[in-house]
Amino acid sequence: MQRSTIRISSLLHAAVAIAVGAFAAPPAAAATQQELEAQLAALASEVSTLRSELARVSQEQQATNARAAVPVQVLGQTTDSATVAEAESGLDFFGYGQIDYSRPKDEPSDTTETVSRFVVGMTNEFDEKTRMVSELEVENTVSSADDPGEVEVEQLYIERTFDDRLFGKVGLFLIPSGLLNENHEPTRFYGVFRNRVETAIIPTTWREGGMLMQGTTEFGLRWDAGLTTGFDLSKWDPTSPEGKESPLGSIHQELALAKASDMSGIFALNYTGIPGVRLGASIFSGDAAQGQPGFDDNVVTLWEAHGTWTPGKFEFAALYANGHISNTSKVNLTFIGNPTLIPESFYGWYGQAAYDLFDWDGNSVRPFVRFERLNTASNYSDLSPGLTPENGPDQDIITGGFSFLFAQGVVLKADYQHFHGIGGSDLINFGMGYQF
């Protein structure tokens, strides 16, 4: 963005200089009317050329802004991790991190504190149109056979700019689904923890391998279309509660020796043509059978719609997500006797409101409240009387708290979460995060 600004400024200066040179400098010798007319014509032609160039640069800048603006709705910031590094050519780094403290109100012995994630990212701009983006994440501090941590390559892709409004990615990248998946840094969302809907239903941080085309339009519409790896239903463990916590989270592959005989498709739209408003939707679908014995035509489809609105100091956000897995009966019959069968459908939605209470020198205090409802097993396909599991309960979560943003990239958070429908104690959470 900085480079584009310089280019526009240079062009304007050149235009002014030409104009001044043409009209203000005294002629070295008297010119004929014909010569003057010829000079005027040439000057007009140059002005026209400059106008065209100015318009092209202006469009390019708008397109860049549009790409950056799409992911930026949650806390009103204007860049994402990858575009921070875009300002400079060549090698660059970015990162974010999050430490969380969580205390169950009624079960204080279960209180925990952890480095939820420590992320370092690296980008390299090979030329003006080609760059590599990577992101390495450590969760829960220590990763070993005896520790709970994980080390993950969360993103690793090459991005190519084809023209002002068309881009392509190939590699391991985030799926453009929902509000958080592409914008999951702690300074981007309200609450110490990411909302449950975009964790249990949309398995944030959800990434797949493949290729993705992305385009923008003059009127503020961004589209994404891609062909990627998908889920692997043979990973489903009917003896584990994991599938009840997050159906898709339990069968995602994260491009770790991912089974790829069946590919999936993603299509997403996001409209930001109205200032302060973002509206979007996406659908992801693909066979999760992956050619494994006993699995056949198990198509996973996840669609969602979302919106944000920022009138003045208020911020509103809402999202609905719905998942479906086809042809589960045959597989579920082989899981009989176990506690966690594969649901046919699951869903969740939430509404969230926040307010910029104080804002001084770039520091900000923003209280928020959020209501979520989700069901990770809202329906099971019929097996036979007595064998079909009962549908899961609706789970309601009310979260209220605040974020204190300061130093243009650091956040302190506190919130209180009340759960209904799934049992468990209310939670008191504190967290800190940063992003650069």
Partner 1 sequence: MPDFTRARSRVITLLSVVLLCACGGGSGGGTVGGPVPGPAMSTLAQLGEQIFNDASLSASGTMSCATCHDPDHALSSAANEPVPAGGAGLDVPGFRNAPSLRYVAKTPTFGFEDGAPLGGFDRDGRAVSLMEQARRPFLAAHEMANTAAADVSDKLSQATYATDFKAMFGNDVFDQPEIAFDRALTAIARYEAEDPDFAPFTSKYDYFLAGRTQLTAAERRGLALFNDPLKGNCAACHPSGRGSNGEPPLFTDFSYDNLGVPRNAAIPANDDPTYFDLGLCGPFRDDLATARELCGAFKVPSLRNIAVTAPYFHNGRFATLAQALAFYVRRDTNPEEWYSVDAGGAVHKFDDLPPQYIVNVNTTEVPYNRNVGDQPALTPAEIDDVVTFLQTLTDGFQL
Taking the C-alpha atoms of residue 282 and residue 303, their distance in angstroms, rounded to an integer, is 6
Whether the Cβ atoms of residue 19 and residue 44 lie closer than 8 Å to each other = no
Pick out residues in 126-165 that bind partner 1 (CB under 8 A): none
Taking the C-alpha atoms of residue 334 and residue 357, their distance in angstroms, rounded to an integer, is 55
Least Cβ distance, residue 252 to partner 1 (angstroms): 18
Whether the Cβ atoms of residue 226 and residue 266 lie closer than 8 Å to each other = yes
Query: Per the structure block, which two tokens stand in for 404?
Result: 């204190």
Taking the C-alpha atoms of residue 57 and residue 52, their distance in angstroms, rounded to an integer, is 9
Least Cβ distance, residue 294 to partner 1 (angstroms): 5
| Residue 240-279 contact track with partner 1, rule CB under 8 A, x = bound | x---------------------------------------
Q: Name the residue nearer to partner 1 (CB basis): 233 or 331.
A: 331
Least Cβ distance, residue 331 to partner 1 (angstroms): 8
Taking the C-alpha atoms of residue 283 and residue 269, their distance in angstroms, rounded to an integer, is 9
Q: Name the residue nearer to partner 1 (CB basis): 295 or 402.
A: 295
Whether the Cβ atoms of residue 92 and residue 107 lie closer than 8 Å to each other = no
Q: For partner 1, which residue of 96, 157, 271, 335 counts as binding (CB under 8 A)? A: 335
Does 337 bind partner 1 (CB under 8 A)? Our answer is yes
Q: Name the residue nearer to partner 1 (CB basis): 200 or 331.
A: 331
Q: For partner 1, which residue of 36, 142, 333, 357 counts as binding (CB under 8 A)? A: 333
Does 7 bind partner 1 (CB under 8 A)? Our answer is no
Which 8-state DSSP code applies to residue 349? E
Does 393 bind partner 1 (CB under 8 A)? Our answer is no
Least Cβ distance, residue 376 to partner 1 (angstroms): 19
| Residue 286-305 contact track with partner 1, rule CB under 8 A, x = bound | --------x-----------
Q: Name the residue nearer to partner 1 (CB basis): 163 or 237.
A: 237
Query: Per the structure block, which two tokens stand in for 421?
Result: 């429908």
Q: Name the residue nearer to partner 1 (CB basis): 192 or 325.
A: 325
Does 218 bind partner 1 (CB under 8 A)? Our answer is no
Nearest to 158 by CA among 168, 150, 144, 149: 168
Pick out residues in 339-368 that bind partner 1 (CB under 8 A): 339
Does 390 bind partner 1 (CB under 8 A)? Our answer is no
Does 385 bind partner 1 (CB under 8 A)? Our answer is yes
Q: Name the residue nearer to partner 1 (CB basis): 166 or 336.
A: 336
Least Cβ distance, residue 235 to partner 1 (angstroms): 12
Q: Name the residue nearer to partner 1 (CB basis): 9 or 240.
A: 240
Least Cβ distance, residue 259 to partner 1 (angstroms): 16
Taking the C-alpha atoms of residue 10 and residue 389, their distance in angstroms, rounded to an integer, is 69
* Inter-residue long-range contacts of 111-118, CB under 8 Å, 24+ positions, other chains counted: 114/140, 114/141, 115/139, 115/140, 115/141, 116/140, 116/431
DSSP 260-325: -SS-EEEEEEEE--STTEEEEEEEEEEE--TT-TT----EEEEEEEEEEE--TTEEEEEEEEEEEE
Q: 2-23 vs 33-69: helix axis angle to the nearest 10?
A: 170
Q: Name the residue nearer to partner 1 (CB basis): 189 or 236.
A: 236
Q: Name the residue nearer to partner 1 (CB basis): 58 or 240.
A: 240
Neighbours of 232 (CB within 10 A): 22
Taking the C-alpha atoms of residue 192 and residue 196, their distance in angstroms, rounded to an integer, is 11
Q: Are strands 277-287 and 299-309 parallel, antiparallel or unpaired?
A: antiparallel
The CA–CA distances, whole Å, from 347 to 100, 235, 299 equal 27, 21, 16
Q: For partner 1, which residue of 10, 112, 239, 261 counts as binding (CB under 8 A)? A: 239
Nearest to 204 by CA among 158, 237, 242, 252: 252
Taking the C-alpha atoms of residue 427 and residue 148, their distance in angstroms, rounded to an integer, is 21
Does 238 bind partner 1 (CB under 8 A)? Our answer is yes
Name the 3-class secondary structure at 127: strand
Q: Name the residue nearer to partner 1 (CB basis): 161 or 290.
A: 290
Piece of 94-102, 110-118, 276-284, 380-388 that binds partner 1 (CB under 8 A): 380-388
The count of chain residues that interact with partner 1, using the rule CB under 8 A, is 18
Q: For partner 1, which residue of 89, 140, 338, 425 counts as binding (CB under 8 A)? A: 338
Piece of 6-14, 65-73, 188-196, 334-342 that binds partner 1 (CB under 8 A): 334-342
Piece of 314-322, 342-350, 382-390, 399-407 that binds partner 1 (CB under 8 A): 382-390
Which residues contact partner 1 (rule: CB under 8 A)? Answer: 237-240, 294, 330-331, 333-339, 384-387
